[in-house]
Amino acid sequence: MTYKRILLKLSGESLQGEQKYGLSVEVLASYARQIKAATESGVQVGIVIGGGNIFRGLSGAGRGFDRVKGDQMGMLATVINSLALQSALEAVGVKVRVLTSICMEPIGEYFSKAKAIAALERGEVVIIGGGTSNPYFTTDTASALRGIEIEADVLLKGTRVDGIYTADPEKDPQAERFEEITFDEVYRRGLKVMDLTAFTLCKENGLPIVVFDMDTEGNLGRLLAGERIGTLVKI
C-alpha cells in the first residue's frame, strides 16, 4: 500500500540517541534525511513528537510535581523537540511549518486543521507540538487526534523496535513479530501498542497504525515504497 499523507509519531526518547537526556544531533540528522526523502517521493508528512527525552509529566508526578503542571512541562518539551527537528530539516533544505496546540507565537503558529492541510498541500512538512494541549493525554493520543484531523492515510509510529511482538522481545527470545494484526486482536491479547485512548481513537476513526523501527536509517523510505516494514494494525 502506498500513502499520500502520513502522520509520523516520533518518540522523544529516540531523539536522545545514546545519551541519557536531551537531543542527539546524529539522530536528528538521520530523521531529517529520511523525512526529506519521503517528501521528495511525493508523500505529505505531518509529525508529532513526544517529550520524554526532556520531561515526562507522569514521571514528574511520581517525583512530587503537580500532575497538571507536570503534563504542561511535558507539552513544552515536545515544542523544544519540534523546533530541533525543524532546524534539522531546514538544514537539509526542507520547508517546515511548526504548529502548536497552545498559543505561543512567534515560536509556532496556533494549530488548525485548515492551516495544517494547506501547508501539507504546499509540500511543507508540518510538525505539531504541544500534545493535545490538555493534561492527562499522551502524545500518542495527540498523534492519533492530529492524524485524524489532517485526514492522514496512516499513523506511522516510529520507535526503537521493529514492530509488535507476542511478548517483549528484549525479555522473551521466543517472542514472535506480527506482520499484520487487527485492532480487536491487540485488545484480546493485551498487547502494548500505544495507550488505549490513542489506540481506540484510531480504531473508531478507521486510521490504521504501522509500528516500525525509525532508528534504522532507510526504513521510512522502504515502508513508504511498499515493503513489509514493522507491523500493520488494521480494522
Q: For the whole model, what pTM was predicted?
A: 0.95
In this predicted structure, the answer to whether residue 1 has a pLDDT above a threshold of 70 is: no
Q: Looking at residue 97, which CATH number applies to its domain?
A: 3.40.1160.10
Distance spanning both ends of the chain, measured CA to CA: 15
List, in sequence order, every residue forming a beta bridge with 128; answer none if it has no partner.
99
Cα 181 to Cα 64, 175, 197, 206: the distances in Å are 39, 15, 18, 14
Q: What is the DSSP letter of 100?
A: E
Residue 15's pLDDT band (boundaries 50, 70, 90)? very high
Number of domains in the chain: 1
In DSSP terms, 45 is beta-bridged to: 6
pLDDT, tens only, 51-84: 999 997 777 677 888 999 999 999 999 999 999 9
**What pLDDT, in 10s, does the model give residues 142-161?**
999 999 999 999 999 999 88
Percent over 90 (pLDDT), the chain: 90
Parent domain of 37: 5-191+200-234
